[in-house]
Amino acid sequence: MSDTVHVDAGEKLHISVVEVLHEQLEGALSNHQNVELDLSKVGQVDTASMQLLYAYKTAAEKAGVSFDFSKPTDAVIVGAKLLGLTKSLGLT
């Protein structure tokens, strides 16, 4: 299956939503679906959420599916930069 699942990250990308986001991403991965994560509304990020994005990006690459970000906000880019994940997440 190669269809794309569109996931809205919402306004806060932090530990309080990591479990729900993980379930959505894991479901797409187990169905071999590409994911486009809409980051256009994100105003807050934390380390847990950035770790999840990195882990999922790595798992998606290994599974041969794409994991793309749509419209990452400055908050997402700064969070990735502070954690040294900008290049790994493809946010350069």
The per-residue pLDDT for 63 is 93
CB 3 within 8 A of CB 13: no
Token pair recorded at residue 14? 């932090």
Question: How far apart are the C-alpha atoms of 34 and 27, rounded to whole Å?
Answer: 11
What pTM does this model have?
A: 0.91
pLDDT at 2: 59
Name the residue among 32, 44, 43, 41 with its Cα closest to residue 5: 32
pLDDT tens-place values along the chain, 92 residues long: 558 999 999 999 999 999 999 999 999 999 999 999 999 999 999 999 999 999 999 999 999 999 999 999 999 999 999 999 999 999 97
Q: What is the pLDDT of residue 47?
A: 96
- For each of the domains in the chain, give its residue range(s) and CATH number, in order of start: 4-82 (3.30.750.24)
